[in-house]
Amino acid sequence: MRFDPLLLGWSLIGYAAMPWLRRHTQTRLQTGKEEASRLGERFGYPTQPRPPLHMPVLWIHAASVGECRAVLPVIECLFRQHPSLTILITTATRTGGQVVTAHAASFKGRLIHQFIPYDAPHLLSRFFAHWRPNGLVLIESELWPGLLCLCQREHIPVMVLNGRLSARSARRWQLAAPLLRYLLRPCRWIMPRSQADQRAFTQLGIAPLLPPADLKEDAPPLPFDAADAVKIRQHLGGRPLFVATSTHPGEEDLIVAAAQEARQQRPNLLTVIIPRHPERGAALAAQFKAPCRSQNTMPQDQDPLWIIDTLGEVGLFLHLAERVLIGHSLYPPGGGHNPLESLRFRRPTAYGPYMQNWQDICTTYATFLHQLHDKDALIQWLVRPTIPAPPPLKRSKISHDATCLIMNIILGNKEK
């Protein structure tokens, strides 16, 4: 076995970091970011069995909610085309795990969720020894040294879907481009998310690269409970809903202030804020003296604001919305979130001046999106009585193409 100095050095750091990692895990548990019954998964101890060794296991790592939603069409396509395949999907967050769990039942035990172990080689080795994956698919930018070095040592092929390398990250990697290329030795291919990401990988000498494609263009509309939609609509009595999704700290103040001024012309306007991190919901409700979905409180006629801090209900409120604002785009550094989610519901959609993580998508769908540069522009957009609905969006064939590419590698690796 070839000596790997990076793996050795990272292993020593991993052992030294164990006391801190244990304290860190307990802190996360106390703040609701971990599940007590599954803490062992963070240290490489499995909580589910592996299928028989003759059956292939594909490992997909999707850090959180957005990545999990993006890869679901690929998972569905993989299962349709390969009946004997089991998919192990790991996440770094509970919310990502909940997205997976919500879909796992429909796949009859073929989709297994575990939390990703910390990136310490001795913990990951325990994980590898149990699961023995035939290949690893990374979603977006989860490039961890221990993980990649162990994949190289264990001859596990790695593929990257929606490969993401922001301009800021690319600048940081310029001085260490040889190290990044060394880490990516087990990587068979990278499918960049956008042309900008493709350029960033190329400038660092990363190869092989597939043509850029964004999995989110192949995603179906977010699910929602139709019965809940009817109940809410009946309760609200036809009030128009302005929905601000995936908001981050500071943005809510601007949104509430703009909506308050807009209500002078549209007094029945109801603003719905869906914070990116649901645990902020109670504090926002207290700050703005607003009803809160997790507390089972509904807005009354006089209430201008409703805080939605429940999981899995973004689709419900996009369905109910009159118009939608994309959060994480109003203040620097921002970056934005996925505007296709609201466009798939044919809702007029706006975003702020800091949407750089979605530049290609915003350019492609510029005809159907509204860029707002400041609070006054948001007010003017809110008081417009009608805004034309975007046309239906077509889904791409990215998931089918990705499935073929993945299985070519997995089946070849299984035969070795």
341 has catalytic annotation = no
- Work out the end-to-end distance of the chain between its first and last CA atoms, rounded to an integer number of angstroms: 17
**Residues, the chain, total?**
416
Distance CA 291, CA 281 (A): 10
Distance CA 404, CA 325 (A): 36
CB atoms within 10 A of CB 286: 11
Q: What value, to the nearest 5°, has the Cα angle with vertex 251 and ends 247 and 254? A: 135
Residue located via tokens 């006629």: 301
Which DSSP category does 274 fall into? E
Distance CA 152, CA 126 (A): 16
The catalytically annotated residue of 34, 41, 67, 341 is 67
Q: Are the C-beta atoms of 88 and 60 separated by less than 8 Å?
A: yes
φ, ψ of residue 179 to 5 degrees: the values are -65, -40
- Active-site annotation, residues: 67
